[in-house]
Amino acid sequence: MFAAAQLLAPPRHVVLGHNARPLLFAFGTILAFLLLNIEIADFFSSPGSVALTFQFSGNFARDMSYSIAWAIFALLLLIIGIRQKLKPVRYASLVLLGVTILKLFLHDLSQLEQLYRIAAFIIVAIIAMLASFLYQRFLGISPKQAQ
């Protein structure tokens, strides 16, 4: 999808009267996210099993792998959105980061012991500070714009 979007550079980007590049980039991102989840499910599947199952309970390592992978994917989307100056990509990254934090607080932390819970809070705080720093540094209002 990403290669097709790159190959459809202007003036070939119009298909049936619409710009096809944003749609191809969106589908490519969705497919990359699905592939990430499929790889995690495959890694934690039983050896020799022919079926993939997506489970979000019962295995702490698998649950945390999903959360960490989603947070990293969201940060990569945020960096791409900032560098390419694409608001929808930045908003999608913030939504995914929010969903990841909700999953972490509502599901993953219930299975943790006290020491690991503290470490998880510290990691979430670092990720949130990094995302807010990136947003403020590259998209914040400069003093000249505020006047």
Per-residue model confidence as pLDDT tens digits over 2-33: 888 788 777 777 777 778 888 888 899 999 99
Going by pLDDT thresholds of 50, 70 and 90, the confidence category of residue 146 is: very low
Write down the H helix ranges in the chain.
2-7, 21-43, 60-84, 87-103, 114-139, 143-146
